[in-house]
Homo-oligomer: A and B are copies of this chain.
Amino acid sequence: MRILSSQVSKHVGEEVTVAGWLHRVRALKSVTFAIVRDRDGLVQVVAAEPDLVKRLAVLTEETVIEVTGTVTANQQAPGGVEITSPAVRELSEPAVASPFDLYRPVVSAALPTVLDNAAVALRHPRLRAPFEISAASVAGYRRALDRLGFTEVHTPKVVSSATESGANVFALDWFGRKAYLAQSPQFYKQTMVGVFERVYEVGPVFRAEPHDTARHLAQYTSLDAELGFVTDHRDVMAVVREAVAEMVATIAERAPGAVELLGVKLPDVPEEIPSIHFADAQELLARETDEDPRGEPDLAPAHERWLCEWAMREYGSQFLFVTGYPMRKRPFYTHPDPQRPEFSNSFDLLFRGLELVTGGQRLHRHSDYLAALEARGESPEPYAGYLAAFAHGMPPHGGFALGLERFVARLTEADNIRWTTLFPRDLHRLAP
Binding site for B on A (CB under 8 A): 2, 19, 21-22, 38-39, 60, 62-64, 91-93, 95-96, 98, 117-120, 122-123, 128, 131-132, 134-135, 138-139, 142, 146, 149, 151-161, 170-175, 177, 179, 181, 188, 191-192, 194-198, 202-204, 206, 208, 210, 218-219, 221, 229, 364-367, 384-386, 388-396, 404, 422-423, 425, 427, 430-432
Contact = CB atoms under 8 A, between A and B. Distances in A.
Nearest to A392: B120
Top 6 closest A-B pairs, CB basis?
A385-B432, A95-B393, A172-B172, A62-B393, A119-B389, A160-B430
- Specify which of A60, A142, A175, A392 lies most central, judged by the most chain B CB atoms within 10 Å of its CB: A392
B128 A195 contact: yes
A430 B233 CA distance: 32
Contact of A156 (B171, B198, B219, B393): B219
Given A151-B135, A427-B175, A393 B157 contact: no
Given A62-B392, A174-B170, A395-B19, A188 B423 contact: yes
27 contacts: A21-B194, A38-B197, A39-B196, A39-B198, A62-B392, A91-B364, A95-B392, A96-B366, A118-B191, A120-B389, A122-B192, A123-B194, A131-B195, A154-B204, A154-B221, A157-B157, A158-B170, A158-B181, A158-B218, A158-B219, A159-B431, A160-B431, A171-B172, A171-B173, A175-B210, A179-B430, A204-B204
Given A39-B197, A135-B151, A158 B367 contact: no
| Identical subunits present | 2
Given A172-B173, A393-B63, A432-B384, A365 B135 contact: no
A389 to B, nearest CB: 4
B174 A430 contact: yes
A109 to B, nearest CB: 15
Contacts of A202: 202
A323 to B, nearest CB: 22
A117 B385 CA distance: 8
Contacts of A191: 118-119, 432
Contact of A135 (B63, B153, B181): B153
Contacts of A123: 194-195, 392
A180 to B, nearest CB: 9
B196 A96 contact: no
Contacts of A208: 175
A190 to B, nearest CB: 10
Given A123-B195, A135-B153, A396 B91 contact: yes
Nearest to A138: B152
A63 B392 CA distance: 7
A7 to B, nearest CB: 12
Given A64-B393, A64-B394, A153 B422 contact: yes
